[in-house]
Amino acid sequence: MGNSVIVRRLGLLAVLALCVVLLALVPHLPSYYVRVVDSILIYIILAVGLNLVVGYAGLLDLGFIAFYAVGAYAYALLASGQFDIHLPFIVILFIGAAAGAIAGVLLGFPVLKLRGDYLAIVTLSFGEIIRIAINNADDLTNGPQGIAGLDRASLFGLPLTTPVHFYWLLLVLAITVCGGVYYMERSILGKAWRALREDQDVVRGLGINTTTLKLLAFALSAAIGGAGGVIFGAFQRFVSPESFTFQESLLVVLIIIIGGVGNIVGVIAGAVVLVVLPEVLHFAAQYRLLIYGVVLVTVIVLRPGGLVSPRFNLGFIIRKVRTLWLSPSKT
């Protein structure tokens, strides 16, 4: 074992340590920055969830935010004075995920035989229907005013109130979701999804029920969306329909495309860029959106395949780290 091996291992450790230190430092930042990081983490969770459907199974879902809304309103209805129900956060987290999954299956079942853009527009319509319904079902949801004063959440006796609390919760959840999706991507299920994206008729010809396969992708992604919504509700302690517009659905799709479709590392990069960019552009005042749009178009024209190359994915990083650690001479 030569000197260079030790240097490389130390370098690797240093990089890992840097990552951990950076993540550990976040809570010590001013509250505004912690909120931005929280927001990034929420969008990472949402985008990784939607990526199951768009990136792996190849189905364009433009109504994803509806599932997020279902989760958020689950928290709003079950942990507030609205009906004077006060369930614990962790229970609602599961209820929200389940409600999202059920909504996903209910939407998916009739429409999944549609192809491409027809599926896209139906999911879009579904998202709008949910939003308009929330907006108008005054008795249940308070309509456009929304529901305020949601319960302060707590988890296993620990309070969940400040952005820092949510930072830790979201970090754990984001890592769990990324890890889970990465595992699925490598399993036979992930392979079947990718095959579905390539040629769904042939997949059926191999004896695979494509409707179930699509439903599964839809339900899982909707469950992740629902869980994300519950956390959003607990974090904001206020929900209203205007948080769940078509533009929000598009933002999540944008994160996936701008990062690199079907690539978890890409999704993380996309979420960072698209959440941080508007914050950075605050100085531009009323020109903010204009610059945002111009940057968006420029980025996509210059890097149409996404910011992160498809080769640079989680599997690549894991392999790299492993070979560097186990047999550094090979690298």
Report the first-to-last Cα separation within the chain, whole angstroms: 14
Residues in contact with 315: Cβ distance below 8 Å, sequence separation at least 6, in sequence order = 182, 186
Find the part of the chain contacting another protein (CB under 8 A) among 38-46, 81-89, 202-210, 317-325.
Answer: 202-210
Q: Identify whether the C-beta of residue 79 lies closer than 8 Å to the C-beta of residue 238.
A: no
Per CB under 8 A, 318 contacts another protein: no
**Widest pairwise Cα distance in the chain:** 73
Out of 286, 311, 330, 331, which residue is the one contacting another protein (CB under 8 A)?
286
Residue among 135 and 154 whose Cβ is closer to another protein: 135
Alpha-carbon distance of 176 to 223, in angstroms, equals 14
Residue with tokens 């939607």: 50
Nearest to 124 by CA among 248, 225, 296: 248
Asked if 304 interacts with another protein (CB under 8 A), we say: yes
| DSSP states of 85-132 | EE--HHHHHHHHHHHHHHHHHHHHHHHTTS-HHHHHHHHHHHHHHHHH
- Interface residue with another protein among 26, 40, 217, 257 (CB under 8 A) is 257
Nearer to another protein, 54 or 99 (CB): 54
Specify the stretch interacting with another protein by CB under 8 A; choose among 9-17, 165-173, 193-201, 228-236.
Answer: 193-201
Residue 188 as a binder of another protein (CB under 8 A): the answer is yes
* Stretch in the footprint of another protein (CB under 8 A) among 64-72, 87-95, 98-106, 125-133: 125-133
Kindly tell me which of 58 and 233 has the beta carbon lying closer to another protein: 58
Among 5, 18, 19, 198, binds another protein (CB under 8 A): 198
CB 231, CB 76: distance < 8 Å: no
Is residue 288 exposed (0-12), middle (13-18) or buried (19+ Cβ within 10 Å)? Answer: middle
Residue with tokens 């209203």: 240
User: If you search the block for the tokens 């047999």, which residue do you land on?
Assistant: 327
| Residue 289 binding another protein, by CB under 8 A | yes
Interface with another protein, residue 124, by CB under 8 A: yes
The stretch among 37-45, 78-86, 157-165, 184-192 that binds another protein (CB under 8 A) is 184-192
Other C-beta atoms lying within 10 Å of the C-beta of residue 43: 23
Of 76 and 203, which has the nearer Cβ to another protein?
Answer: 203
Quickly count: other Cβ atoms within 10 Å of residue 260's Cβ.
26
For residue 153, what is the DSSP state?
Answer: E
Residue 311 is a binding residue for another protein (CB under 8 A): no
Q: Is 48 an interacting residue with respect to another protein (CB under 8 A)?
A: no
- Please tell me the distance from the alpha carbon of residue 53 to that of residue 51, in angstroms, as a whole number: 5
- 34, 66, 203, 239: which one contacts another protein (CB under 8 A)? 203
Nearer to another protein, 9 or 204 (CB): 204
Site string for another protein, 52-91 (x = CB under 8 A): --x---xxx-------------------------------
Burial of 164 (0-12, 13-18, 19+ CB in 10 A): middle
Tell me the closest approach of the beta carbon of residue 11 to another protein, in angstroms. 29
Query: Rule CB under 8 A: which residues touch another protein?
Result: 54, 58-60, 110-111, 113-122, 124-126, 128-129, 132-133, 135-136, 188-189, 191-192, 194-195, 197-210, 212, 246, 250, 253-254, 257-258, 261, 286-287, 289-290, 292-294, 296-297, 300-301, 304-305
